[in-house]
Amino acid sequence: MRHATTLEKVPGQTDLERELTPLGHSQAVTAGLWLKEKKLVPDLILCSPAVRTQSTLAGVLAGLGVSVPVQTEKDIYHGDEEDLMHLLETVDASVQTLLYIGHNPTIGYFANALTQRRVSFSPATILDLVPKEEDATGKATSTFHLQERFIAPVDSF
């Protein structure tokens, strides 16, 4: 998931401190409601430490209406798609549904690497990626396929 719609950076503010707009707060809750409706309640959420992702996380959790374990991971903010892949590889095998909340362009590059296709992320977009089944030769043509996509409404507030 990419964070929801943010305010522009103001003078003296760091990029880490950027906040959500009122629309962004609404998008985050709507995203959580969508996850709940689709029965995609995460077993674990990995989230960037940036204010906008933490605020998106709060809205998603409000929409889900349940408590979910959360790990704040600086590599989601500072890293690249290889760092996100490393985080994925270190997640406990008992986690069946994992949610990343991150930033463009890295989250898009990561999704591209997982699906072997170009995908785009407007604010508060969620991609539901599912591991691919092996083909007849026992090899997968890519790691994951895109099952569903949530694109937050831009006029809901």
User: Running DSSP on this structure, what letter comes out for residue 16?
Assistant: G
Phi (first) and psi of residue 130, to 5 degrees: -125, 135
Provide mean pLDDT across the span 33-56: 97
Dist CA 153 CA 31 (whole Å): 10
* Poorest-pLDDT segment among 7-21, 48-62, 132-146: 132-146
Provide CB contacts within 8 A for 10, sequence distance 6+.
Answer: none
- Per-residue model confidence (pLDDT) at position 157: 42
Name the nearest CA neighbour of 56 among 131, 155, 152: 152
**Predicted confidence (pLDDT) per residue in 69-121, tens digit:** 999 999 999 999 999 999 999 999 999 999 999 999 999 999 999 988 888 88
Provide mean pLDDT across the span 126-149: 76
Mean pLDDT of the chain: 91
How many CA atoms lie less than 13 Å away from 74 in the CB half-sphere?
0
